[in-house]
Structure 1
Amino acid sequence: MSNVESLAPLPFPENHEARQAGALQALILVFTTQLPIMGLLSLVPIIPILIQQFGQHPDAKFLIPLMITAPSVCIALLSPMAGFLADRLGRRRLLLGAVLGYGVCGFAPFFLEDLVGIIASRFCLGITEAIIMTVANTLMGDFYPPEPRRKWLAVQSAVGSLSGTALLFVGGILGGYGWQGPFLLYLLAFPIFALLMIFTWEPVSHREPSGVVGNERFPVRQMGIIASVTLFCAVLYYVEVLQVSQVFHLLGLTNTADIGMAGAIAGLGVPLGAVLFAKLSKQDIHVHVVMVLTLFAIGLIGLGQAGSVPWAVAAALVAQVGCGMLIPALINWCLGSLSAQYRGRGVGIWTGAFFIGQFISPFTVTLLASALGGLAAAIVALGGVSLVALLVVWLIPRNVRQPSTQTS
């Protein structure tokens, strides 16, 4: 009887240890991580149309911006909880539910006319985005050892830049058919759901050859350092991203198409930054942060001091190179510092810290602009902050530096 049982094949769903993730799984996860980006950028081109459509609402000045930013607020606040659930309940099932919910909630405003109802659907969308952003990056750490992981994180950064540009363009085209048009983009979640369902699986926890595995406690101190560095760098990351169009306008570029073209040229720096990370990916996080802060200092000081549009574009491109390098470097650092049992909640904390930085950045610029007498002065000041931070990081003794990854 035992011999017969030993010859029986294992059920396919249980035989995951023989399965190894490859390029297909990585590309599916890369495109899954673009869904939260779509949640913000797809609506940016139609903000004037939304104001025209809902401008008569008594609270329109508050509610329309909230419609745009609600998902990002949810990501900032709920990502740690999403990570905790991923560690407790499993990755794949949670991600599949979130992607399916993303498609439903994201597309719902296409049929809604009430502004409050639309905003409610956007908050529901943000809950799904917090899960997607956290779990997809967690799976990147579960599926791949350091070498391929670094490569795919660089690809993810480059794809993010290209998809951001494409989403702005397509969102503008769909907006020409009415304010509901861009919500059609959320239907892309359903083919991604199908790909995740067919080609991914729940990762098997395995013993990794790293000192971080076997720790019984969550690495509070290490994650505190990672979250603090992430929050600080995210504030600087979004200075150029959110303020560059205003700088172009102050320099005399008033046509929206021209501003978009100038921004697109500067945005070419992001894939260059991803390539730079790939070249330096085996270096520790200290080297990555030094490089990013150097690029931010040059780019922001140059942007604030620019006297013409070409110089502003060049400075913005330098800052964007730093942007393209920063995100894969930080995610790589985070993933390499966590064992499988804590990877979800660690990535959740990282994601929350990054999006809190996104929220803080424009307020920081506004306060500095009021204190220093203008936007340009505020941007130069934050470039100076980058320079000071660069010097501090550079002077950290080597014996207290943390590596970007272990061998996990």
Structure 2
Amino acid sequence: MKEHSLALKGTLLFVATLTIMAGTTVAPSLPAIEQTFAGTEHVALLSRMVLTLPAIFVAMSAPIAGILADRFGRKKLLIISMVLYGFSGMSGLLADNLFFLLVGRAVLGLAIGGIMTVGTTLAGDYFTGTERESYLGLQQAFTQFGGVAFVVTGGILADIHWRVPFAIYAASFLILPAVLAFLSEPAKKTAPSGGPAKAVVSANWSQVLLLALSTYLINVLFYTVPSQLPFFLRHLEINSASAIGYAIGTFNLAGALVAMSFGLLRSRLAVPGILAGGLALMATGFLMLAQASGMVSALVALCVLGTGLGVVMPSIMSLTIKIAPPALRGRIAGLVTASMFLGHFTSPLASQPWIGWFGFEALYRDISIAFAAMAVIAIAAASVRRWAV
């Protein structure tokens, strides 16, 4: 495997970019989708669910994918998930009503549940120590660099027609040959006699559940950027789909650049300390976004927000792998993945009424307060020895 290590890492990193495509690619199309299906009941909410519906199906499928990955292996599940991803993602090119468009997005969510769960599990299988921490930073960087490329491209293509960005999901088929060629099934742990290990393994489930809950809350709050930002910018009289793409791309670019330093940060700080700093940056960014009055101030706020997210997400993945015994790694990765995407799904359901009652500015201000509170809690956790990992 050593002679293929660069190819192996590269393949896993490109697989990671598929998860960000789920939403960011079509985010600039949301206003046009709302207008196209304006006669559909509850279209304001349902058009936003084009972005977020995959998340609930990720949440449902990821724990099952984790069990399957632990029991039957990683690679085959990844291949099946990537094929399903490509076909379901491109279904938006043909869907002639909002219902069928949402069905395709639901199937896409099932595929993402498999891809993300297996991707996190393989990171724990293939890498250890500082190599793992560096990889997790690169994974987040690639994910967000992918977000830049896909959302900006999606914005440009959405100016042609709102359906065209759905063609980008064919990227899954371009990455698939590398998965077949360079990824191998990790060897299962064996007992000293050479037979399969039968020892009972357990995890600290209180830590697992606390991590899952924290992941859920973080994602409910931060996902108001991709799900509501296009409409917030329109509220600021910025109506171009490509401008929306550039704005979300700026958010992802900032996150990608800082995520590349995660390995260095991890060599000097415990994960809870890094997490606290990232949450504080996100609190600052949301407060700045609440006060934004135009494109420039919004972009500055998004840069700060992206910087925070660029260290928060690798911290979550690092904790996930750290507290998961190898035999339970798929299950725990699936649970955290489910929490993440359940947060994505819940986000517009929670934020849309809040916007209706109080407005965009109040929404982002209150999210800032929530992130500040979580940063304080993370600082307290950093002082507890068992979390100093």
Question: Structure 1-normalised TM-score?
Answer: 0.81
Q: What corresponds to 2:359 in structure 1?
A: 374
Q: What corresponds to 2:283 in structure 1?
A: 297
Pair 1:332-2:318 in alignment: yes
Moved more, 104-113 or 298-307: 104-113
In 1, the alpha carbon distance for the partners of 2:94 and 2:288 equals 46
Structure 2 residue identity aligned to 1:377 = A
Structure 2 residue identity aligned to 1:156 = Q
Residue 270 of structure 1: which of 252, 255, 275 is its match? 255
Evaluate the alpha carbon distance shift between residue 125 and residue 236 of structure 1 in structure 2; reply closer, same or farther with a 3 A threshold. closer
Give the superposition deviation at 1:21. 5.9
For the residue of structure 1 that corresponds to 2:387, the secondary structure is coil
In 1, the alpha carbon distance for the partners of 2:301 and 2:34 equals 33
Pair 1:204-2:187 in alignment: yes
Q: What corresponds to 1:222 in structure 2?
A: 207
Structure 2 unmatched runs, 5+: 191-198
Pair 1:34-2:17 in alignment: yes
Computing the radius of gyration from Cα coordinates, the structure with the larger value is 1
Pair 1:358-2:341 in alignment: no
> Which residues in structure 2 correspond to 1:109-258 (within 5 Å)?
109-110=92-93, 113=96, 116-175=99-158, 180-206=163-189, 216-251=201-236, 253-258=238-243
Structure 1 unmatched runs, 5+: 1-17, 208-213
For the residue of structure 1 that corresponds to 2:324, the secondary structure is coil
User: Residue by residue, what CA displacement relative to the aligned partner does 1:292-333 show, whole Å, maximum 9, x if unpaired?
Assistant: 121122222222234555344323211110111111111011
Evaluate the alpha carbon distance shift between residue 49 and residue 138 of structure 1 in structure 2; reply closer, same or farther with a 3 A threshold. same
Evaluate the alpha carbon distance shift between residue 62 and residue 237 of structure 1 in structure 2; reply closer, same or farther with a 3 A threshold. closer
Pair 1:280-2:265 in alignment: yes
Evaluate the alpha carbon distance shift between residue 92 and residue 381 of structure 1 in structure 2; reply closer, same or farther with a 3 A threshold. same
Residue 70 of structure 1: which of 46, 50, 53 is its match? 53
Give the superposition deviation at 1:132. 0.7
Structure 2 residue identity aligned to 1:374 = G
The percentage of counterpart residues that share the same residue type is 26
Give the superposition deviation at 1:349. 0.5
For the residue of structure 1 that corresponds to 2:260, the secondary structure is helix
Give the superposition deviation at 1:365. 3.5
Q: Would the aligned equivalents of 2:223 and 2:347 in 1 still touch at CA under 8 Å?
A: yes
Give the superposition deviation at 1:339. 1.8
Q: Would the aligned equivalents of 1:20 and 1:143 in 2 still touch at CA under 8 Å?
A: no
In 1, the alpha carbon distance for the partners of 2:238 and 2:92 equals 34
Structure 2 residue identity aligned to 1:165 = V
Evaluate the alpha carbon distance shift between residue 306 and residue 354 of structure 1 in structure 2; reply closer, same or farther with a 3 A threshold. same
